[in-house]
Amino acid sequence: MALSIASSSSFEGKIAYDTDLEADAKVNIFGGPVVVKFIDIDNAANAGTVVYVKLYDSSTTVTSGTTVPDHQIAVAGGARRALVYTGGVGFTSGLSMNCSTTAGTGGDATTDPSGAVIVSVVAT
């Protein structure tokens, strides 16, 4: 539910930390183009449910269940998954993201996980 963004003149990157990413998309979280270097997804609060974190190259509206994600990351129930992108993954418009219990846009891709899904993103 709470999204925090950190940046510093001491390092080149920006960090986004969301304590409960849900199906309603967080749009253009860094305020412009970024290159994602690292993402950490903690699905420990949903022991029996796979969740799907969806990333969109969009600085405007993202409609859950309709907008096709550019990247999708599945995380097993009760698990944590960290991904390092060597060279990074570019989002030329902006990075938007959401999380649901249904993959892609099919079915009911607007279903929130029952427990909190904690997501950290490091980008430049």
Evaluate if residue 116 carries a pLDDT over 60: yes
Domains along the chain with CATH numbers: 3-123 (2.60.120)
Alpha carbons 102 and 9: distance in angstroms, whole number: 39
- Could you tell me the strand order of the sheet in which 51-57 lies? 71-75, 51-57, 95-100
Evaluate if residue 55 carries a pLDDT over 90: yes
pLDDT of residue 105: 86
- Could you tell me the strand order of the sheet in which 80-91 lies? 3-7, 14-18, 118-123, 34-42, 80-91
CB-based contact 121:36 (threshold 8 Å): yes
Alpha carbons 55 and 73: distance in angstroms, whole number: 8
Evaluate if residue 9 carries a pLDDT over 90: no
